[in-house]
Amino acid sequence: MDKIKMITPLVEMDGDEMTRIIWKMIKDILLLPYIDLKTEYYDLGLEYRNETNDQVTVDSAEATKKYGVAVKCATITPNAARMTEYNLKEMWKSPNGTIRAILDGTVFRAPILVKGITPYIPTWTKPICIARHAYGDVYKNSEMIVKKGSKAELCVTDENGNESRELIFDFKNSDGIIQGMHNLESSISSFARACMNYALDQKLDLWFATKDTISKKYDHTFKDIFAEIYENEYKEKFEAAGIEYFYTLIDDAVARVIRSNGGYIWACKNYDGDVMSDMIATAYGSLAMMTSVLVSPQGIYEYEAAHGTVQRHYYKHLKGEETSTNSVATLFAWTGALRKRGELDNTPALCDFADKLEKATINTIESGIMTGDLYLLSTLENKTKVNTEDFLKAVNVKLQELL
Ligand code: NAP
Ligand code: MG
């Protein structure tokens, strides 16, 4: 069989620990035998980030802007313990944060569903894809403890030095607390466009919700910006694609999500997305089955797994012990990126390969071959727990049946 040709390279961002081991196995077992793989390689492993003063992260994001599609391995976000472990020059920032800031993107997370792993909400037969607005609100706030007898006001000084004031609260009878937060028109607009582009890309309805009845300026502005961008730029495209934009109050949205069958994108304000994405991930069963894609308003895509570097398994691996780490989300990051590259380059063979590799992965698990995390959850009667590498080899067997 001839290997599948690629026209434009993928930006490949390698990473850390167990996921770095899995990364190489996926390439060796499932990609290189079938594809004439073209990538521009960036080593985002912590050692090389430290060596380059994190320049490699910036370079990889710039390359993503240039080529349009990247695939990323999970990476360590350094903390105090990592400073010593890797003898770091600085506590380098989260690569995901750096890349997201450069691409101005929105992260979409969706679960991979397989027979035998039933969501805690059994009516969720289709994935719920969560989009979190990752800028501002309570994550960039200012807070103060206020003493009894104080009066707190919001005060805005315009460029000419004129002040406008709004009373927050007069703390006559008690000590208290206050919080100030902001968001940007530009950031909310980018978020809205990223969500609407992704809804078109995936042919899925888009839901958005805020508390605009209570927050008549702050949350209402989110609602208005979404509505205006939808009316002016997306309404016709959505109608042509047969999908819907649906706005409701956040509490109504939560109630509807629980009653739904899934199969839509749920755009969330920053805090809602933080909370709801953990709830959705847990409800679908396993973090190791959660994919993640960063989409910029210009239509640049960066695919990865939602989980981290699976440190505990890596230390076992280093001791020479067998691991049974789930590679599915990392594998789907590759298939997502290859399919998108195929779409952009108009190389259907690449898209077809990505589809078949995903199908082979799901078939493998549904035939009862799975890693330890899924083995604990699966309700299949005949199931076998396999190690990290044997799982990928089993997927390869199924893949060959499909090719
Ligand atoms: P983690 O890597 O997501 O793993 C937490 C636990 O979840 C694991 O110990 C394991 O549970 C289970 N798990 C996660 N992924 C799994 C998989 N693929 N297969 C089987 N089990 C899986 O989170 P962490 O250990 O808290 O973080 C490790 C490092 O990852 C940190 O340095 C953090 O900075 C980084 N991180 C990176 C990203 C990213 O790059 N996007 C995201 C999150 C965290 P058991 O131990 O019970 O088997
Ligand atoms: Mg959270």
Q: Say which residues have a Cβ less than 8 Å from residue 364's Cβ, sequence separation at least 6.
A: 370, 391, 394, 395, 397, 398
Question: Of 95, 39, 49, which is closest to residue 71 (Cα–Cα)?
Answer: 39
Asked if 263 and 127 sit in the same domain, the reply is: yes
Are 131 and 253 in a shared domain? yes
- Which residue is associated with the tokens 């707190």? 152
**Residues near ion ligand 2 (Cβ under 5 Å):** 274, 278
227 and 130 in a common domain: yes
Decide whether any atom of ligand 1 lies within 6 Å of the 44 Cβ: no
Tell me the per-residue pLDDT of 323-365, one tens digit each, with 9 for 90 and over: 999 999 999 999 999 999 999 999 999 999 999 999 999 999 9
Q: Are residues 258 and 122 in the same domain?
A: yes
Q: Is 22 part of any domain?
A: yes
64 and 35 part of one domain: yes
pLDDT digits (tens, 9 = 90+) for 227-249: 999 999 999 999 999 999 999 99
- How far apart CA 365 and CA 330 sit, in angstroms, is 15
Q: Could you tell me if 31 and 41 lie in one domain? A: yes
SS3 content of the chain, % helix, strand, coil (to 5): 45, 20, 30
Domain's final residue, options 180, 198, 230: 180
**Are 174 and 190 found together in one domain?**
no
Q: Which residues pair with 178 in a beta bridge?
A: 144
Same domain, 136 and 169: no
Co-location of 136 and 152 in the same domain = no
DSSP 133-158: --SSGGGG-EEEEE-TTEEEEEEEE-
DSSP 287: G
Are 155 and 273 found together in one domain? Answer: no
Q: Which of 180, 202, 229 is the endpoint of a domain?
A: 180
Reported pTM: 0.91
Residue 15 lies in a domain: yes
Q: Is residue 361 part of a domain?
A: yes
Q: Cα Rg for the chain, rounded, in angstroms?
A: 23
Which residue, of 128, 157, 180, is where some domain finishes?
A: 180
* Domains of the chain: total: 3
Q: Are 165 and 304 members of one domain?
A: no
What integer pLDDT is reported at residue 60 of this predicted model? Answer: 98
Cβ–Cβ under 8 Å, residues 206 and 196: yes
CA distance between the termini of the chain:
10
| Distance (Å, whole) CA 207 – CA 327 | 30
How many angstroms is it from 23 CA to the middle of ligand 1?
15
Q: How confident is the model at residue 75 (pLDDT cuts 50, 70, 90)?
A: very high
Tens of pLDDT, residue by residue over 370-388, are: 999 999 999 999 999 999 9
Residue 291 falls inside a structural domain = no
Beta strands in 196-323 (DSSP E): 205-210, 245-249, 264-268, 290-295, 301-305
In a domain, 112, yes or no: no
Gap between the Cα atoms of 269 and 272, Å rounded: 5
Phi, psi of 9 (to 5 degrees): -70, 150
228 CA distance to ligand 2 middle (Å): 29
277 within ligand 1 shell (Cβ under 6 A): no
Mean pLDDT of 125-132: 94
- pLDDT above 80 for 256: yes
Are 15 and 302 within 8 A, CB to CB? Answer: no
Measure the CA–CA gap between 76 and 60, rounded to whole angstroms. Answer: 16
Find the domain containing 46 and state its range.
1-104+297-403
* Residue 307 Cβ contacting ligand 1 at under 6 Å: yes
Minimum-distance ligand 1 atom for the alpha carbon of 19: 18
Please report the pLDDT score of residue 282 as a whole number: 86
pLDDT for res 274: 86
The CATH number of the domain where 225 resides is what?
Answer: 3.40.718.10
| Residues 336 and 391 both lie in one domain | yes
Is 110 inside a domain boundary?
no
Phi, psi of 380 (to 5 degrees): -65, 145
CA of 311 to the centre of ligand 1 (A): 6
pLDDT in tens, 137-169: 988 889 999 999 999 999 999 999 999 999 999
Is 111 a domain residue? no
Nearest to 193 by CA among 243, 217, 228, 240: 228
Residue 230 domain-assigned?
yes
**What are the residues facing 166 on neighbouring strands?**
154
194 CA distance to ligand 2 middle (Å): 21
How do residues 273-330 score in pLDDT, each as one tens digit? 988 988 898 898 888 999 999 998 888 999 999 999 999 999 999 999 999 999 999 9
